[in-house]
Amino acid sequence: MISVKKEREVVTKFTPKLFTTLKSYSREQFFKDVTSGIIVAIIALPLSIALAISSGVSPEKGIHTAIIAGFLISFLGGSRVQIGGPTGAFMVIVYGIVMKFGMDGLIIATVMAGIMMILMGLMKLGSVIKFIPFPITTGFTSGIALVIFSSQIKDFFGLSTGEVPAEFLEKWKLYFQSFNSVSLQTTAIGLLALLIIIFWPKISRKIPGALIALIVTSVIVKIFGLEVATIGTKFGELSSSFPQLSFPQITFEKVRLLIAPALSIAILGSIESLLSAVVSDGMIGGKHRSNVELMAQGVANIASGLFGGIPATGAIARTVANIKNGGRTPVAGMVHSLTLLLIMLLLMPLANMIPLSALAAILIIVAYNMSEWREFKALLKSPKSDIIVLIVTFLITVVFDLVKAIEIGIVLAAFLFMKRMADVSSVNIKKMNALEEREDEPLHDFITESKHFHTKENILIYEINGPFFFGAADKFLEAIKEIGTKTEILIIRMRNVPAMDATALHAFKRMMIMCKHNHIKVMISGINEQPLTVLKKAGIYDQLGEDCFFREVDDAVKSATVVQEF
């Protein structure tokens, strides 16, 4: 009986969400999914074209990717609402592969990355995202955003530069040398597109501003006969037919040279897709199947590569748009892909009129949204070791490439973490680590701790034991979810926390938001110097107030009891 039960659990864990959600599917939800899928397709259309062009491939390949990979990610994935397709994160890697190895190299790298992602899913590495420190993900995301912005300068201003170098510093050197060739008409169209995208949401949030910007600028360029570069003038007539299956010529030497780029696509695709799934879980109150999602991403990338597309992953912005428009099952993502297919078959010739400067404006907005400058700024108030990891990851991403940034960032974070642990090694404590808890030995126990101090039902005590770092932050958030609805006061006992890093601080802020939303008062007891300094720099100390910090937990309990009775 036990083995049968385990087998069922394994099958459930590896079952795509589509088949789970269809068991209780309703007609009402179907119409919501269809409506949301159509809206998301309209959002994805200009993005797919713009990302393809900036990745060094023809515009229709971005749409092919959104159709093929997007459908498979929804059909086979582990998230209810994930929308897949090309994203800005891959742009830098894809451009480099195309410039060095051509389209054959890109196909091979994309297929190899897909295989790697499937293997990661089969090996149950879906939870690997929790081990990537927050400063690293912020550093390389902000770096990618700057690189994307830099790549749009030529098209936005209509510069006559010829071929633009892939290297960041060489690129800007060429821009400054060529700035006397700025086209005023091209710049005006780019600025108009930018303004429409920024201000259109004040008029309507249902119709994406990017689509309105493309329509308006295309019509203006056509009517007034402006000398502005368009998709048609650069790429010629676009094909409106469905792509054919293609197999590149594979050699051992090509595979050897493409292992590193393929691995970077696999790692980046996994991180971005799982991050998107986590964000969407928080919005709909669901729980994705991370290993299923990884395998679906792998299959989608293999298919995209073989049909001449580019790498794909879960797109956070499109996924959020799907949720906001009522999408709650993978059907919405599948409708999004089918809608793009119809647009490609019927309306592709119209895409020839789209100005390149308008597409550049779209990607400038994408870069701004990716930059995470608020998180970047907040991290500068973190411990020095986290600031070093953030800055180094950012600079290496911009100046060199993403693969080196992730590698060096993780190694640097590991060394600094070991130093941090060495600094507190004299403290004899039961360490809090990122390993799974045993069922008979819970790591966080609200009830036992609260009974020990004879607290009332709506006053809970939570104790953190050991260094509070990126490996333990996920545990903290999981434990916080156990807080009951009747809770009015939460006492966090931190006497055994010698150190706290930026990822733990990020988790702490999320806990504060949750408590504020549920009207739960937070008190801290026994906090040590380093964590207290971190909370002060982040403004949490002032936010809570000095009267919410206590030397002993007994004092916090007495104060909580008085507050509750009052």
- Regarding whether 399 and 370 lie in a shared domain, the answer is no
Nearest residue to 516 (alpha-carbon basis) of 492, 541, 544, 491: 544
- Res 17: pLDDT: 94
- Regarding whether 490 and 416 lie in a shared domain, the answer is no
Q: How far apart, in Å, are the Cα atoms of 434 and each of 22, 410, 473, 478?
A: 35, 16, 8, 12
Residue 83 CB neighbour total at 10 angstroms = 34
Domain region containing 549: 446-565
- Res 129: pLDDT: 63
Instruction: Judge whether 20 lies within some domain.
Output: no
- Res 302: pLDDT: 97
Instruction: Judge whether 436 lies within some domain.
Output: no
Helix (H) or strand (E) holding 313: strand 313-314
Domain count, the chain: 3
Instruction: Judge whether 256 lies within some domain.
Output: yes
> Strands 313-314 and 84-85: what pairing?
antiparallel
Angle at which helix 402-423 crosses helix 134-151, to 10 degrees, equals 160
- Res 564: pLDDT: 62
Tokens of 119: 């293997």
- Res 565: pLDDT: 61
- Regarding whether 417 and 340 lie in a shared domain, the answer is no
> Is 241 in contact with 62 (CB distance < 8 Å)?
no
Burial 302-340 (b: 16+ CB within 10 A, else e): bbbbbbbbbbbbbbbbbbbbbbebbbbbbbbbbbbbbbb
pLDDT single digits (tens) 508-548: 888 888 888 888 899 999 999 999 999 999 999 999 999 99
- Res 428: pLDDT: 30
- Regarding whether 461 and 396 lie in a shared domain, the answer is no
Instruction: Give this prediction's pTM.
Output: 0.75
- Res 434: pLDDT: 30
Task: Kindly give the parts of the chain with pLDDT less than 50.
Answer: 1-2, 4-7, 425-450, 454
d(CA 477, CA 133): 15
d(CA 324, CA 337): 18
Q: Which of 344, 378, 412 is the last residue of a domain?
A: 378
- Regarding whether 343 and 209 lie in a shared domain, the answer is yes
- Regarding whether 389 and 303 lie in a shared domain, the answer is no
- 239 SS3 class: coil
Instruction: Judge whether 433 lies within some domain.
Output: no
Residue 301 CB neighbour total at 10 angstroms = 35
Rg of the chain taking only CA atoms, in angstroms: 26
- CA 131 to chain CA centroid, nearest Å: 15
- Res 470: pLDDT: 67
Instruction: Judge whether 17 lies within some domain.
Output: no
- Res 292: pLDDT: 96
- Regarding whether 188 and 222 lie in a shared domain, the answer is yes
Q: What is the CATH number of the domain that holds 491?
A: 3.30.750.24
Helix (H) or strand (E) holding 465: strand 459-465
